[in-house]
Amino acid sequence: MSGKQLFEMDEKRLVIGAMVTLSLATGVMVLMPYFFVKRITPPKDLKPYTVLEARGREIYVAQGCVYCHSQQPRDAKQAPDAKRGWGRVSVAGDYFYDSPHLLGTMRTGPDLFNIAARQPSKDWHLGHLYQPRAYTPGSIMPAYPFMFEVKKTQDVTKDDEVVNLPPEFAKAGETVVTKADAHALVAYLLALDHTYSPLPAIPVPGDEKKLSGDK
């Protein structure tokens, strides 16, 4: 067998091997997950985003929040997320209305999957966006003052949404009011409450008869 024939044979083996490897990888990483999740339905208590919450989600993405915050509490075997107060392990159905999914890979800040349950105060979120260190001393989270407007107190109107900062961060004669982007972003954060049960209730023996009216 000539050297040219050997080279052509090795070339064919290389191509065939690459195609087989690619096919296996596609099957394991694309096709299998697709068949597992294609029939996923949202949990009963999961609500679609409102227009305002969806806008806030867009701002969340645009500001790069996903680079520092995950939205995926993990199993106790992987991380002590439950002990951190981040809630139960997430399931596929929790993300039914999310496109794209914002699972995140970094945890420079805490997981936000259940931030609305841990911190339900709108005032807190607005103030925290304006100046994180006013609420969490030593926080490395960047402030977002461009989402707010500082007005002279006498110029504040009844239509302005005022940010109630801690006294030591409030300046005399000035009032911080919320702009539309901050209002939307906080609406999105307050929608992140996944404390419902992700699975249907397990029927108790005998309940079927009660539901059907049998005695």
Instruction: Write out pLDDT tens, residues 5-27.
Output: 655 667 777 888 888 888 888 87
Q: Which pLDDT score, from 0 to 100, does residue 210 have?
A: 47
CA distance 189 to 53: 8
Read off the pLDDT of each residue in 179-198 and give the average, rounded to a whole number: 96
Across the chain, mean pLDDT equals 87
Q: Spell out the domain ranges in the chain.
A: 1-39, 51-189
On whether the 51-189 domain is CATH 1.10.760.10, my answer is yes
- The whole-number pLDDT of residue 212 equals 45
Binning the chain into helix, strand and coil, the percentages to the nearest 5 are 45, 5, 50
- Mean pLDDT of the 108-123 span: 96
Which has more pLDDT, 88 or 12? 88
- Determine the pLDDT at residue 158: 92
Phi/psi of residue 8, nearest 5 degrees: -65, -35
Query: Region 173-179: what's the mean pLDDT?
Result: 96
* Structure-model confidence comparison of residues 2 and 41, the more confident one: 41
Query: Residue 185: CB partners within 8 Å, gap ≥ 6?
Result: 56, 59, 60, 63, 129, 147
Q: Give the mean pLDDT of 139-164.
A: 95
The values of phi and psi at residue 204, to 5°, are: -90, 135
pLDDT of residue 130: 96
Residue 41 has a pLDDT of: 84
Segment 125-153 mean pLDDT: 95
- Give pLDDT, residue 16: 84
Contact criterion met (CB below 8 Å) for 81 and 110: no
Length of the chain in residues, anyone? 215
17-26, 114-123, 165-174, 182-191: the lowest-pLDDT one: 17-26
Q: Specify which residues 178 forms β-bridges with.
A: 148
Over residues 32-77, the pLDDT tens digits come to 766 666 678 889 899 999 999 999 999 999 999 999 999 999 999 9
Q: Which residue has the higher pLDDT, 80 or 205?
A: 80
pTM for the model stands at 0.79
* Rounded average pLDDT over 76-86: 91
